[in-house]
Amino acid sequence: MGSDVLDIQTLLGMGPMAPVANPYPLYKRLRDESPVVETIQTVDTAVAGNHRSVMITRYADVKAVLSDNDTFGSGIVNRTMGLVMGPTIVGMNGREHFKHRTLITPSMTPRALKGDDFPTLIREIADDYIDQFIDEGAVDLHARFFFHYPLTVFVSVLGLPPEDVDWVHRTACDLCLVTHEPEKGVQAAEQLLQYFTPVIEARRRDGGQDMISRLIAAQIDGERLSDHEIVSFLRLLVLAGAETTNHLLGSCFYQLLHNHELMRQVRANRALVPALIAETMRWESPISTVMRETHTDTHIAGQPVEKGVAVLCHIGSANRDERRFRAPDTFDLQRQDKEHIAFGFGRHYCAGSHLARLEAEIGINAILDRLRDIEPQADEPFDVIGFSFRGPDRVPVTFCRA
Ligand code: HEM
């Protein structure tokens, strides 16, 4: 097992978008031989206060850990990422998490976000991006579309000026660097605080229908979110908006472009797009790992794990577990066993899942409506890469105008 441990350390050390194309054979070996594998600290020991760190890779174990919030808490997220993000819902436990979840969830459904016109608005944003390259015949879909489109949608949801999209995007990307370039991460967090504070003050004064106004107005048992809590939440959301759905779109097109029969089927029957998205989420989970820590001495997969251990739950590996999915490495649109956990599981289940699926569905349909004969560029092969986040970092294609 020694060499596997070494490989995992290498992967962890390479950062969230490590240029690793196919880690799945390694994950299979870990699931079979070492389902609870010791890893190096993925977070600073002094900061997180943990002594040991393990990674788990089987579906049943990951799901069990994410289901048991008493034994496995999320506080480690706020003691690490929280240093720059501020305390956010993803790192909260118990009553505090319940309060925040109850306050934010009503603001997160697509209808609440922008009313019944929301799909039309998203489609207009997708069309604007496509307009910019439709006459060129060749494009990197990642650089010119997938990378920007979800955050542009989100900036409009927040009621921010469209000309701020690039700045918000750059700053959100800097925020992601927190684990590897802490100074940049801290600076980005401060810049977002300076940016959002006057916006929140203006919404408090003047009111509005956008998501920030809804977050200000939300209350439970007379409690509301403070400005500080709203800024921390918005930081989390711009990060989620910038770093997730773009990977999903890239991986969907990776499949479509490398499987002509799949492209033909989906083009011919757009009702298959939701299944394409679901199977892509399972096959290449855009967020591959989530973190928990043990609150008590416990067991995972029959192995003792003491109190205070960081547990890296590998949902990307879990979604390829042969104990749960038939032929897990096969991309199968007709799959009956569909219960992937790429949006997490349990109390912290992704609050933006409706939005992510809607954006992906509209983006895919916009491309298929407006471009035909889409092919990967022969001299520019590309792959799905990454460790904690997974997706292609370029999608160079040729196409004709439909
Ligand atoms: C394909 C896109 C996305 C994927 C794969 C994804 C994945 C996840 C996962 C795995 C979690 C669980 C974290 C944990 O258990 O520790 C999560 C939580 C969350 N996600 Fe997403 N996400 C996506 C898009 C979004 C978007 C677009 C938003 C909002 C704009 C969003 C907002 C959130 C929030 C607020 C939470 C925390 C929920 C809580 O702690 O109760 N996500 N997401």
What three-state secondary structure class fits 44? coil
| Rounded distance from Cα 348 to ligand 1 centre (Å) | 8
Nearest CA to ligand 1 atom 35: 351
Q: Tell me how far apart the alpha carbons of residues 114 and 122 are, in angstroms, rounded to a whole number.
A: 10
Nearest CA to ligand 1 atom 32: 352
Ligand 1 atom closest to 88 (CA): 40
pLDDT value for 243: 82
- Calculate what percentage of the chain has a pLDDT beyond 90: 68
| Residues, the chain | 402
Taking 50 as the threshold, does the pLDDT of residue 1 lie above it?
no
Residue ranges around ligand 1 (CB below 6 Å):
74, 89-90, 101, 154, 236-237, 240-241, 244-245, 248, 286-287, 290, 342-344, 348, 350-352, 355-356
Q: Which H or E run contains 48?
A: helix 45-48
Contacts 24+ apart (CB under 8 A), 357-361: 357/274, 357/277, 358/110, 358/118, 358/119, 358/122, 359/122, 359/149, 359/150, 359/153, 359/245, 360/245, 360/248, 360/249, 360/252, 360/277, 361/273, 361/274, 361/277
Per residue in 239-248, pLDDT tens? 888 789 999 9
Place of tokens 């921390």: 232
- Calculate what percentage of the chain has a pLDDT beyond 70: 94
Ligand 1 atom closest to 91 (CA): 40
Ligand 1 atom closest to 77 (CA): 16
pLDDT value for 384: 93
| Rounded distance from Cα 288 to ligand 1 centre (Å) | 12
CATH architecture for residues 2-401 = Orthogonal Bundle (1.10)
Rounded to an integer, what is the distance from CA 29 to the centroid of its chain?
25
- Judged by average pLDDT, the poorest of 16-20, 51-55, 258-262, 295-299 is 16-20
What three-state secondary structure class fits 65? helix
Asked whether the beta carbons of 381 and 280 are under 8 A apart, the reply is no
DSSP calls for 169-224? HHHHHHHHGGGT-HHHHHHHHHHHHHHHHHHHHHHHHH--SSHHHHHHH-EETTEE
Query: Across residues 110-121, what is the average pLDDT?
Result: 83
Query: Across residues 105-110, what is the average pLDDT?
Result: 84
Query: Across residues 383-399, what is the average pLDDT?
Result: 93
| Rounded distance from Cα 353 to ligand 1 centre (Å) | 7
Q: Tell me how far apart the alpha carbons of residues 401 and 42 are, in angstroms, rounded to a whole number.
A: 46
pLDDT value for 93: 96
- Judged by average pLDDT, the poorest of 59-63, 67-71, 187-191 is 187-191
Q: Tell me how far apart the alpha carbons of residues 178 and 17 are, in angstroms, rounded to a whole number.
A: 13
Asked whether the beta carbons of 297 and 306 are under 8 A apart, the reply is yes
Identity at 190, one-letter amino acid code: E
Taking 60 as the threshold, does the pLDDT of residue 126 lie above it?
yes
| Rounded distance from Cα 16 to ligand 1 centre (Å) | 16
Per residue in 250-270, pLDDT tens? 999 999 999 999 999 999 999
Taking 60 as the threshold, does the pLDDT of residue 160 lie above it?
yes
Positive or negative, the Cα torsion across 337, 343, 347, 353? Answer: negative
Q: Tell me how far apart the alpha carbons of residues 24 and 197 are, in angstroms, rounded to a whole number.
A: 43
Q: Which of 75, 58, 51 is nearest to 305 (CA)?
A: 51
pLDDT value for 45: 43
Q: Which H or E run contains 289?
A: strand 289-294
Nearest CA to ligand 1 atom 37: 90
Ligand 1 atom closest to 356 (CA): 27
Most confident of 3-7, 164-168, 207-211: 164-168
Nearest CA to ligand 1 atom 15: 348
Pocket test for ligand 1, best of 88, 109, 122, 350 (most atoms within 8 A of CB): 350
pLDDT value for 224: 87
| Rounded distance from Cα 356 to ligand 1 centre (Å) | 9
Nearest CA to ligand 1 atom 17: 350
| Rounded distance from Cα 102 to ligand 1 centre (Å) | 15
| Rounded distance from Cα 146 to ligand 1 centre (Å) | 18
Taking 60 as the threshold, does the pLDDT of residue 2 lie above it?
no
Average pLDDT over the chain reads 90
